Amino acid sequence: MDDEEFANLVPDEDEEIPEDAEDLEESTPEDPLEVVARCREYTEVEPFEELKKEAERFLRGEIGSELVKEKWLALDQELAARHHYFQEGLRFQEWSEQLVVTGRQIFEQFEWIQDQMGRLDVGLETAQELEVAYALEQIHASLAVLKSSYQTLRDLQSSLPNLSENPMVAELVRVGQLTMQQKIPVESFLERLAVYADMQERLQQALLTAQPAPRERSILEAERANLEEAFSHQQRGLDELHGFAENLEPAELEKGIASLEQGSQLQLRLRERLLQTVGTEDTRACPFCGADNQAQSRFCNSCQARLPENLAVQAEEISLSSSQGNGLPSHFQRLVTAVEQRQQEQLDDAGWQSTLSWFRGLYTNVCRQRDRRKPPPADIPPEQLELLERAGESLTTGLELIGEGLAVLEAGEELPSGVELILKGGEKLQEMPNWLDEATNLTNALQESQA
């Protein structure tokens, strides 16, 4: 790094440095509103813009700190999601020094913003208005740096060679090449290979348990032979790449990648046919760079960051509306299957940790949504209030049981006990919609009686 960047931090030889605080000139404290006024530039991070508006009202004495804290929680959740998916989507570690430096700068900005979020929280709790204003100013500046760093990262990534249309296959090519050059250990390649194998296994499981619409079912039946061929190519490629990991022969890498590419093309054709059954395809924004992506995409088409799983994560994370025939919600079913496979030694460490991380993410998001719930109106009828309180109790109890069960699973011991706790928590969550439905029916009845 260039020493000139730090030249301004080195005092001149004739510069007099104060020995203690008495030598420093006293300065007049700034007006908090003037500090916030310096944050006028739009950041494109809506939760921050909302927080900024409410903070200004707080500093004018128009509202209390509680409303600002609500916006603080919303921004904290947004930043946590962006940081999480940025970490999950890192695809530049071993490419070049420029990419590593840019990635490290982004991490540092996230850490600094987190520090300032804490500072802002303390300022609200202790009514230190200037601390609130300065924290907002620092967050605003860091978001501007992040925006610039994202663009730099996208520019750098766009200059990289396109190794495959499939991002995960491209990752295997890249890491395989680096392994041959002995720049990274073969374990790094095997880790990526395990992730790819897990993806194929999940795809097969999803197709086996799917409940397609009639038109989708006809497409799946027509493409059944091609689909079987696709998975055959994928399995052959995985076997060939495991062979490459043993001898690091370039020909083995090329052969394995070619097999995966053949399988991927067949799967892509099926996917395109299924998408044609949808009138208009939904899109979703990447939490890393903000670019629009198809709802079915696993990686951002702009920055290649890993996107949240397209189940019910965006809405009701641990959803109770997607139950299978046995009454067990699909999210819980996937966890139960993983526990069974783990006990039978059919699931390796990478696949097990990936499943636990996925379910932990769902659980955490639901907990955050629960913490942000607003209390019912003060004038609500007692009967309705009781029903809402029962729904809240079901939610709280269910999440507590799920949290206990997750801790047991993550400890790696007593897996049956852990999953039993989680399923009990799921049963409690299933009680919640019933209470909410009763509350809604009561509201309708009251409105009809007053009509």
Single pTM value for the model: 0.43
CATH topology of domain 311-451: Four Helix Bundle (Hemerythrin (Met), subunit A) (1.20.120)
Residue corresponding to tokens 């994370």: 317
| Cα-based angle 286, 290, 293 (whole degrees, multiple of 5) | 50
Within 210-348, residue ranges assigned H as helices are 214-222, 224-247, 250-275, 330-343
Question: Do strands 283-285 and 292-294 pair parallel, antiparallel, or not at all (unpaired)?
Answer: antiparallel
| Cα-based angle 289, 90, 307 (whole degrees, multiple of 5) | 55
Domain segments of the chain as ranges: 30-158, 161-283, 311-451
Residues 266, 284: Cα–Cα separation, whole Å: 25
Q: What is the pLDDT of residue 375?
A: 67
Q: What is the pLDDT of residue 137?
A: 94
For residue 168 the two structure tokens come to: 């995960």
Looking at the DSSP bridge assignments, the partners of residue 275 are none
Q: What is the pLDDT of residue 442?
A: 57
Residues 179, 177: Cα–Cα separation, whole Å: 5
For residue 162 the two structure tokens come to: 């396109």
Q: What is the pLDDT of residue 359?
A: 79
Beta carbons within 10 angstroms of residue 257's beta carbon: 22
Q: What is the pLDDT of residue 323?
A: 38
Cβ burial, residue 272 (10 Å; 0-12/13-18/19+):
exposed
Looking at the DSSP bridge assignments, the partners of residue 284 are 293
Q: What is the pLDDT of residue 380?
A: 66
Is CATH 1.10.10 the right assignment for the domain spanning 161-283? no
pLDDT in tens, the chain (451 residues): 444 444 444 445 554 544 444 544 556 788 999 999 999 888 888 889 999 999 999 999 999 888 899 899 888 888 877 776 566 555 544 455 666 777 788 888 888 998 999 999 999 999 999 999 999 999 999 999 988 888 887 777 677 667 777 777 887 888 888 889 888 888 888 888 888 888 788 777 777 666 666 777 788 888 888 888 989 999 999 999 999 999 999 999 999 999 999 988 888 888 777 766 654 445 666 655 556 666 666 666 655 555 554 332 332 333 333 333 344 555 677 788 888 888 888 777 777 887 787 777 777 767 766 666 666 666 667 776 777 777 778 778 888 888 888 888 888 878 888 888 888 888 877 776 666 566 566 555 555 554 4
